[in-house]
């Protein structure tokens, strides 16, 4: 006989609350699971991209794991652990860096894109690698989607500035230093601890010099950096030792997205480089790498890891474009997308079509390519269009800074290659190319076993002109590169300086676009295609009226009707 027990209303309420909590927690845990799109990488390849060192030396690893936050209050119960560490996941996330899950590899608790660098006869250091600037996530309806090769939303300068402040606080607070020393050495009253304090002082002095060299009145915020300004200051001022060559890095740009880039004819926002190895070497030298330009016995020797840079570039070469995930972001209206495809190729009056600058693949699935006979190896590259500043009308600061900067050659004048031998000054782009070539040639010549001619050609992306053809050089530095828009949906904010929040805003006339919005949230807006402007949390208010932040220009498609704009956006989702 079945006996049915009566359950009181009070118990029913308890059961109901428990069920609600279980449902809510299951949604939280489901949202925490990272979704990876099919971009052609295995888990092992992804981890190699996240963790491969390139020659960047930010801070000794043990220091990073032992420093406390500037505001180090915590509510843990006992001992040193009650003080919040700088490396705590929640603290790192505030700067927009992605934190690894426990299963993500063997590297210690460091963010994605931070690699462990070994030091000969010394301890390990923490440094940057490509993934720190070219990995992102979008969040929508409780789902987190990883986009490899996408521009990061991290605040690099904010992160290292806070790291510097944590070092200073450790030196100025004896109790804090005692805890720091105990974590690293197991003691604080020893010769080793005295040496640690002195090393920390030297590091703090070097760090202060870095910030003095690279001070700018323009705030970068999340997802931007004046990479060229900093690289040049590090090479010309720090490594070469010419203080008068300092220039304020006041032209921050968004980090470019990587998929497809190894196949392009030029590989920078302003088309200044086509050699991927040289580009990557310059990046290392600007992000806490270094080259010796003063010691005659070590001239040209650098921290750059050429084999690892080649490995990373080979990985990027296989990276596929992320496709709009309809399962998570919603179905694409194919009828609208077909209409948008027609609009993409239309010419209206004097306004060029979208396709005239941002090429589409032909029926054979190929973008317009350079001629095979121009290349020594018969290689072809995707043609990217250089849009002159006067025509595109976007903020010119980055291109102007790069193209017009002139710097002293210091003591290098007598040993510069012809026809520049003896020059006291050179255009900054020219001296940059010379010094990067020195670093590249020195590092390559030291490899054992040496690279074969074919391997060397592959390392520089086969950018070797055929006999009788000129070297690969950009025709116009006062321009910005217009590349194919594959995967454009995953690369907000838009324009080279990140001044336009979403694709819909980009299709509005410049004087009608938002003059400010918050950057830092990964909450995705699949309708307008971009990140939502949310004030809550650690955010950066992007003011488009500030210097270098103009959101004007690129007035293409702005006169389309509302229906046409949404059709064009639907098509852009398919790329």
The per-residue pLDDT for range 235-273, each reduced to its tens digit, is 999 999 999 999 999 999 999 999 999 999 988 878 788
Cβ partners under 8 Å of residue 219, min gap 6: 540, 546
Residue 474 confidence (pLDDT)? 79
C-alpha torsion 390→393→397→400, nearest 10: -20
The owner of tokens 């990479």 is 227
Do the Cβ atoms of 482 and 503 come closer than 8 Å? no
As a whole number, mean pLDDT of residues 283-293 equals 95
The per-residue pLDDT for range 36-55, each reduced to its tens digit, is 999 999 999 999 999 999 99
Do the Cβ atoms of 221 and 542 come closer than 8 Å? yes
- 19/24 Cα distance (integer angstroms): 9
Residue 29 confidence (pLDDT)? 37
- 258/496 Cα distance (integer angstroms): 14
pLDDT band at 472, cuts 50/70/90?
confident
pLDDT band at 557, cuts 50/70/90?
very high
Kindly report the average pLDDT of the chain as a whole number: 91
- 533/493 Cα distance (integer angstroms): 11
As a whole number, mean pLDDT of residues 74-102 equals 79
Do the Cβ atoms of 329 and 529 come closer than 8 Å? no
Residue 67 confidence (pLDDT)? 97
Structure tokens at 78: 């006992």
Asked if residue 328 has pLDDT above 70, the reply is: yes
- 485/354 Cα distance (integer angstroms): 10
Q: Which residue has the higher pLDDT, 32 or 280?
A: 280
Asked if residue 13 has pLDDT above 50, the reply is: no
The DSSP letter of residue 543 is E
Residue 471 confidence (pLDDT)? 85
The per-residue pLDDT for range 379-388, each reduced to its tens digit, is 999 999 999 9
- 133/98 Cα distance (integer angstroms): 11
- Residue 242 — φ and ψ, nearest 5°? -120, 90
Asked if residue 451 has pLDDT above 80, the reply is: yes
Distances (CA, A) of 331 to 326, 350, 486: 5, 34, 18
List, in sequence order, every residue forming a beta bridge with 523; answer none if it has no partner: 139
Q: How many CB atoms lie under 10 A from the CB of residue 121? A: 4
pLDDT band at 122, cuts 50/70/90?
confident
In Å, the largest CA–CA distance within the chain is: 106
pLDDT band at 107, cuts 50/70/90?
low
Buried b / exposed e over 441-460, threshold 16 CB at 10 Å, is ebbbeeeeeebeeeeebbbb
Do the Cβ atoms of 31 and 261 come closer than 8 Å? no
Asked if residue 31 has pLDDT above 80, the reply is: no
Distances (CA, A) of 334 to 212, 284, 569, 572, 573: 53, 43, 11, 11, 10
pLDDT band at 299, cuts 50/70/90?
very high
The DSSP letter of residue 54 is -
Nearest to 135 by CA among 255, 44, 53, 43: 255
Cβ partners under 8 Å of residue 232, min gap 6: 245, 247, 405, 407, 428, 432
Asked if residue 492 has pLDDT above 50, the reply is: yes
As a whole number, mean pLDDT of residues 157-167 equals 97
Structure tokens at 205: 């002095």
Residue 350 confidence (pLDDT)? 81
- 126/102 Cα distance (integer angstroms): 18
The per-residue pLDDT for range 340-369, each reduced to its tens digit, is 999 999 998 888 899 999 999 999 999 999
The per-residue pLDDT for range 386-432, each reduced to its tens digit, is 999 999 999 999 999 999 999 999 999 999 999 999 999 999 999 99
pLDDT band at 533, cuts 50/70/90?
very high
Residue 81 confidence (pLDDT)? 60
Residue 119 confidence (pLDDT)? 83
pTM, full prediction: 0.91
User: Which H or E element spans position 255?
Assistant: none
Residue 101 confidence (pLDDT)? 65
As a whole number, mean pLDDT of residues 158-165 equals 97
Residue 428's SS3 state is: helix
Cβ partners under 8 Å of residue 533, min gap 6: 501, 514, 517, 518, 519, 521
Asked if residue 514 has pLDDT above 90, the reply is: yes
The arrangement of strands across the sheet holding 143-148 comes to 34-36, 143-148, 135-140
- 334/36 Cα distance (integer angstroms): 24
Residue 121 confidence (pLDDT)? 65
- 144/448 Cα distance (integer angstroms): 43
Asked if residue 74 has pLDDT above 70, the reply is: no
pLDDT band at 447, cuts 50/70/90?
very high
């Amino acid at each position: 006989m079945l006996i049915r027990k009566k359950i009181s209303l009070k118990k029913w309420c308890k059961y109901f609350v428990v069920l609600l909590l279980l449902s809510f927690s299951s949604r939280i845990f489901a949202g925490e699971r990272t979704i990876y799109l099919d971009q052609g990488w295995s888990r092992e390849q992804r981890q190699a991209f996240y963790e491969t060192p390139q020659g960047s030396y930010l801070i000794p690893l043990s220091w990073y794991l032992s420093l406390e936050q500037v505001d180090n209050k915590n509510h843990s119960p006992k001992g040193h652990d009650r003080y919040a560490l700088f490396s705590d996941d929640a603290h790192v996330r505030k700067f927009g860096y992605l934190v690894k899950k426990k299963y993500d590899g063997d590297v210690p608790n460091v963010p994605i894109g931070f690699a462990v660098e070994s030091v000969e006869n010394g301890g390990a250091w923490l440094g940057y690698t490509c993934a720190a600037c070219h990995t992102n996530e979008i969040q929508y309806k409780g789902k987190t989607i990883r986009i490899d090769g996408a521009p990061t939303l991290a605040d690099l300068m904010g992160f290292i500035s806070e790291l510097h402040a944590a070092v200073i606080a450790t030196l100025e607070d004896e109790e804090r230093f005692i805890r720091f020393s105990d974590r690293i050495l197991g003691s604080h009253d020893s010769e080793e601890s005295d040496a640690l304090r002195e090393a920390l002082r030297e590091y703090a002095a070097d760090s202060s010099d870095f910030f003095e060299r690279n001070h700018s009145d323009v705030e970068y915020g999340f997802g931007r950096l004046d990479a060229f300004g900093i690289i040049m200051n590090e090479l010309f001022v720090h490594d070469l030792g010419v203080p008068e060559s300092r220039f304020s890095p006041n032209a921050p740009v968004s980090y470019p997205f990587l998929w497809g880039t190894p196949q392009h004819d030029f590989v920078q926002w302003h088309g200044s480089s086509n050699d991927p190895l040289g580009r990557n070497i310059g990046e290392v030298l600007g992000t806490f790498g270094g080259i010796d330009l003063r010691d005659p016995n070590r001239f040209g020797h650098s921290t750059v890891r050429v084999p690892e840079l080649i490995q990373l570039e080979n990985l990027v070469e296989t990276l596929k474009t992320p496709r709009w995930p309809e399962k998570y972001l919603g179905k694409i209206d194919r009828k609208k997308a077909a209409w948008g495809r027609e609009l993409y190729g239309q010419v209206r009056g004097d306004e060029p079509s979208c396709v005239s600058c941002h090429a589409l693949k032909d029926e054979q699935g190929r973008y317009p390519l350079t001629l095979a006979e121009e290349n020594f190896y018969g290689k072809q590259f995707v043609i990217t269009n250089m849009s002159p500043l006067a025509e595109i009308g976007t903020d010119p600061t980055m291109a102007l800074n790069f193209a017009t900067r002139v710097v002293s050659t210091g003591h290098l004048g007598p040993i510069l290659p012809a026809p520049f031998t003896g020059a006291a000054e050179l255009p900054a782009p020219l001296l940059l190319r010379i010094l990067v070539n020195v670093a590249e040639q020195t590092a390559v010549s030291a490899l054992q076993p040496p690279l074969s001619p074919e391997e060397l050609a592959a390392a520089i992306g086969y950018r070797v002109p055929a006999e009788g053809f000129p070297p690969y050089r950009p025709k116009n530095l006062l321009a910005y590169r217009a590349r194919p828009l594959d995967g454009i949906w995953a690369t907000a904010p838009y324009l080279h300086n990140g001044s336009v929040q979403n694709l819909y805003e980009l299709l509005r006339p410049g004087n009608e676009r938002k003059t400010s919005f918050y950057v830092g949230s990964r909450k995705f807006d699949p309708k307008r295609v971009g990140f939502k402007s949310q004030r809550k949390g650690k955010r950066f208010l992007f003011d488009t009226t500030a210097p270098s932040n103009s959101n004007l220009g690129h007035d293409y498609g702005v006169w389309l009707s509302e229906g046409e704009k949404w059709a064009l956006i639907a098509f852009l989702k398919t790329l």
